[in-house]
Amino acid sequence: MAENAPNRGVLPYDRLRAREYARRWAHGRNPLFYNFSGIGGDCTNFVSQCILAGCCTMNYTPTFGWYYRSPDDRAAAWSGVQYLYDFLSGNTGPGPFGRQVGIDELQLSDVVQLGRGDGSFFHTLLIVGFSRRGYLVAAHSDDAYGRLLPSYSYRELRPIHIEGFRCPSPPPPECFWPLYNGRALPPG
């Protein structure tokens, strides 16, 4: 029984809700969130919103968590490319978690980060579909929904599979719609 303890409270990531949120807001801005386009980019902020739509659970751990209350009260992982990767790949607390995988292992509503080839990454995208010509993605900064991943310029890819999320109790099923409609953040 002890070997299953780390999985206690693990819930499935709702990939369809994450994609539906991306479709709704890819070419717009949810008024619940600040638009970082003019100050470093809005890509990771947008992908964090999509992930939130698929789990309705934030991690309010100071410094190393993943949360957004306002532009001045948010975790670095909410809007920073490298910080989001660090959070997802290392999270053992509440909220989403994932792992770096091979490009062929990506699923709907997983994450891809684009890199320069020197180990630094500069853009975060959400997988929203598949085609014979490559993955289809959604993004902010250069707003897109259903754009082919190969149409971007990059030297390195970092595919991240969202494995699920942890929450002491399941979030209320109605948490998605207020977020989707720009009315309220999930209770935290």
Per-residue pLDDT of the chain (188 residues; tens, 9 = 90+): 333 344 568 999 999 999 999 999 999 999 999 999 988 899 999 999 999 999 999 999 999 999 999 999 999 999 999 999 999 999 999 999 999 999 999 999 999 999 999 999 999 999 999 999 999 999 999 999 999 999 999 999 999 999 999 998 888 888 999 999 999 999 87
DSSP sequence for 89-133: HH--SSEEEEEE--GGG--TT-EEEEE-SSS-EEEEEEEEEEETT
pLDDT for the residue numbered 169: 84
Q: Where are the domains of the chain?
A: 12-180
pTM greater than the 0.85 cutoff? yes
